[in-house]
Structure 1
């Protein structure tokens, strides 16, 4: 083993805005270190940080966050109210249920409910 995850950093154009958005999704208080760096310490997870870069996001993420929820449809509605965009319909299969979403800067993420958790 080399080490432990210290934080996950998202390159973006509005660090403060994304920290506020993700605090609404995951909990924790957004902190603005300066104009180019914000973060939040989400309960039960590692620090999620946002670093300002000059270029906008282009293409799909190579890494995305899956957020475990009790109700995918309700979580989708709540996420959209915070500023997320829904991509396609809710997907249901033998493995579970998920909805692809975009955060305010277009970063893909999903709300998920594994099949073994569905009553």
Structure 2
């Protein structure tokens, strides 16, 4: 059995670029087309997918991310016609702080550094979770298409 994460979106290319940056420390890269093919579209056409089933632009650029080591699941950004309208029912947590063995001040610095990098790549900050007296720090963000995720 294999696990793939699928993210509905309007612009797979934009999402691949953003999430490749967000997940670079895990080694994720845009998935290249199969050997011998310049694009995924060329591959799909070669294996018999009718052209009318491939909307314009589909498969010209990578629409998925992979971990070349195979440790992490493939992430496919599936183009859909409707926009996101409600909160996610599931989200990703990017654990960038180093865990509870790292002092809170250092975890906070690491998270803030990651948030700066991700906002420069197109994310927006929704809120910071840092209640006084709790040994916890997390920032909730949205990717370029509004999908929520956390950096903690």
Q: TM-score higher than 0.5 here?
A: yes
Larger-gyration structure (1/2): 2
Following superposition, the deviation at residue 95 of structure 1 comes to 5.1
Structure number with higher strand proportion: 1
Q: Indicate yes or no: 2:138 matched with 1:111.
A: no
TM-score normalised over the length of structure 2: 0.64
- Which segments of 5 or more consecutive residues in structure 1 lack a partner in the other structure? 113-119
Count of residues paired in the alignment = 108
Supply the RMSD in Å over aligned alpha carbons: 1.9
Alignment match, 1:60? 87
- Which segments of 5 or more consecutive residues in structure 2 lack a partner in the other structure? 33-39, 42-57, 98-109
Of 43-52 and 55-64, more deviation after overlay is shown by: 43-52
Q: How does 1:27-106 map to 2 (within 5 A)?
A: 27=24, 28-31=28-31, 33-34=40-41, 35=58, 38-42=63-67, 44-70=71-97, 71-88=110-127, 90-93=128-131, 94=134, 96-106=136-146
Greater RCO (Cα-Cα under 8 Å, separation 6 or more)? 2
